Amino acid sequence: MGALRASARSDAAVAAERITLDCTSTGAPDALSCALRVEWALTNATDDATTAALVFSWPDDSTPTVSVADAILPEAPTLRPVQVLVPPHGTVTVALEATLELDTPYLGVESGIPNPLTAVDPLHARHPLLSSAWESAVRGFAWTRPDDLRFASVGPTTVRARVPSTWHEGGALRAAESTPGHRQLTYDPPAREPPGRIGIAFGRGERGELLRQGGPFVALGASLNVGRPSFEEGFRARAGYTFGLHEFVLVSLSAESDFRSQVLVTPTVELASWGMIVVPSLSLGVGLPIQLAPTPRPGVRFEASATLYSVGFVASLDLWPDDGTTQLMLLGRIGL
């Protein structure tokens, strides 16, 4: 979206580009209505007046209003360029105003890969029915900076946005000071090699929550002896509940049994990755298995898993220091 262009080579420079957004929630779920204002400061460092033939790239359905030195143009120059005269050593401000209805998913542009809308956070991957997603919605657009091939130079782009407090920063935006009921978000360009496009996005969800509700899970599979035999091999069942700590840490408490002699209770802490539509969420963790039967004793558990939208495969390795035995559990898991 956006992009100020010069249709012919000009001695005018774009000294600065300033983007301001004031967004409010609409009646539609997970939608924003944003009043957009963009100002470009055109400067002329030469001793002679220069003309810039300006045209705008505007793919949005809204109709923008363009003004030059506070004079509103009859129509936005999206097809035919407008001639702007910049006096010697002078500055002319060009402004664009529009109302954007952000009600469709944002596609990230910074890396050229799909944005997290195609991804699922670790807790939500395990419990898609009962947990809230880290980001349940992301709205925004990609802003293209002025083309520096036909201007004398192009200066920095800054973004200042105000959104309802239930939304947070996304894309290239960063959080700034907040006011009651609103969040202030900003973008300031890097000192060197600013990007040609800027992701301006707003997210909504549980981002920033320290303790997140997950859900229950059930796992069924088999246990195997590793090394010296110690237990009967065979069927095994596990049930428990998972919580999330911020974005990547999962904490669970489970009970399990082989329905013959062994009963365990195990707290586990895992570090898990985001999953994508066709890529599972992977995790590594450690736990403290406490055997209740046949003989009470503590152990050490190492665990790895792969989860794709509530269905996962779990491998647990339990070490029992008192007799040096080891158990391997291979389980299929499903969470709500």
Q: What is the DSSP string of 263-298?
A: EEEEEEEEEE--EESSS-EEEEEEE--EEEESS-EE
CA gap 219, 314 in Å, rounded: 8
Band the pLDDT of 10: cuts 50, 70, 90. very high
Cα within 13 Å of Cα(126), Cβ side: 33
CATH number, domain 4-118+137-204: 2.60.40.3680
The secondary structure of residue 116, as a DSSP letter, is G
Question: What per-residue confidence (pLDDT) applies to 111?
Answer: 37
Domain with CATH 2.60.40.3680 in the chain: 4-118+137-204
Query: What are phi and psi for residue 122, nearest 5 degrees?
Result: -55, -45
DSSP 38-87: EEEEEE--SSS-EEEEEEE---SSS--EEEETTEEPSS--SSS-EEEEE-
Question: What per-residue confidence (pLDDT) applies to 117?
Answer: 45
Q: What is the mean pLDDT of residues 71-81?
A: 90
Band the pLDDT of 326: cuts 50, 70, 90. very high
pLDDT in tens, 244-276: 998 899 999 999 999 998 999 999 999 999 987
pLDDT in tens, 305-318: 999 989 999 999 99
Question: What per-residue confidence (pLDDT) applies to 299?
Answer: 96
Residue with tokens 């269905």: 311
> Residue 311's CB: how many other CB atoms inside 10 A?
14
pLDDT in tens, 129-187: 999 888 778 899 889 898 778 899 999 999 999 999 889 888 889 988 888 889 999 99
Question: What per-residue confidence (pLDDT) applies to 203?
Answer: 87
Burial (CB count within 10 angstroms: exposed 0-12, middle 13-18, buried 19+), residue 43 = buried
Question: What per-residue confidence (pLDDT) applies to 208?
Answer: 62
What are residue 314's DSSP bridge partners?
A: 305, 331
Helices of type H across the chain: 122-126
Question: What per-residue confidence (pLDDT) applies to 63?
Answer: 86
Query: What are phi and psi for residue 17, nearest 5 degrees?
Result: -125, 120
Question: What per-residue confidence (pLDDT) applies to 118?
Answer: 58
Domain with CATH 2.40.160 in the chain: 211-335
Q: Which amino acid is at 170?
A: G
Question: What per-residue confidence (pLDDT) applies to 115?
Answer: 44
Specify the CATH architecture of the domain 211-335: Beta Barrel (2.40)
What is the model's pTM?
Answer: 0.66
